[in-house]
Amino acid sequence: MKNKPVYGIESVDHALRLAVLLQQEGPLRLTDVAARLGVARSTAHRLLAMLVYRDFAEQTGDRRYLAGPVIRRPDAAEPVAELRARALPHLRALAERCDETVSLQVVVGDQARFVATVEGTQVLRVGDREGRMLPAHLASGGRAILACRQEDDVTSRYTGSPVDVTWLRQELRRTRRRGFAINNQQTEQGVTAIGAAVRDSHGVPVAAVCVAMPTARFSRDRLTGLAQLLATTVTDVEHELTGR
């Protein structure tokens, strides 16, 4: 289970998190950066200045900051700032109910990207994964999103890749039947997660809400209750997005 290093270098951590924020969420102002990182405006300004100097960031004419050429991706999904902001209160509520770590994931290409994380309060818990990427066909959120897409489309994307397409088709069908996906240590030893897709007003999957926990605390007896909490949260986020 990968958690934050005990002797982590805080300034480096802030700079890396900031680079990910700019890549994922689009234009940010100085005050936004300071609030998201939990640092003073002066610290945020120094971090931004260094990222601009190294071409990890660019400043626009209206004093906002964008991802620079070093980290800008032409194939990146649309910025997820609004999606994250709307979902975050519901993620916090779910984390409080189940006391496990909750995340929001989107799929970019063949990767599932963590765009928000709310940790549980237990001493042994899954740590913050915001900004990380995992193979979409293995991550619970990624697989939940793939299961909402046309099967032929998914198959064509993975044909010729190292992924076992027959296994993937079976997993996606199983996910559709039960309404959520399970990642039982497939991406990280000692971590089990379940995820369910969030759809927009057109029924298109735009993200997934996931609950992750140490495998030692996961059991089939908990699955029904966790799945119900997850489904309720997904419905709340969908209502938030569609205005219903």
Return the pLDDT at 235: 96
Q: Report d(CA 242, CA 18) in Å as an integer.
A: 29
Per-residue pLDDT tens digits for 103-125: 999 998 888 989 899 999 999 99
Q: Report d(CA 77, CA 67) in Å as an integer.
A: 13
> Residues of the chain with pLDDT > 70: what percent?
93
Return the pLDDT at 156: 85
pLDDT band of residue 3 (cuts 50, 70, 90) is low
Q: Report d(CA 119, CA 214) in Å as an integer.
A: 12
Looking at CATH, the fold of the domain delimited by 10-67 is given as Arc Repressor Mutant, subunit A (1.10.10)
Return the pLDDT at 73: 65
CATH superfamily assigned to domain 81-242: GAF domain (3.30.450.40)
Q: Which residues contact residue 16 at a Cβ distance below 8 angstroms, ignoring those fewer than 6 apart?
A: 131
The larger pLDDT score, comparing residue 69 to residue 234, is at: 234
pLDDT band of residue 98 (cuts 50, 70, 90) is very high
Per DSSP, the residues of 108-165 read ETTEEEEEEEE--SSSS-----TT-EEETTTSHHHHHHHTTS-HHHHHHHHTTSSS-H
Task: Provide the residue ranges of all domains of the chain, joining segments of one domain with +.
Answer: 10-67, 81-242
pLDDT band of residue 24 (cuts 50, 70, 90) is confident
Structure tokens at 16: 């890396």
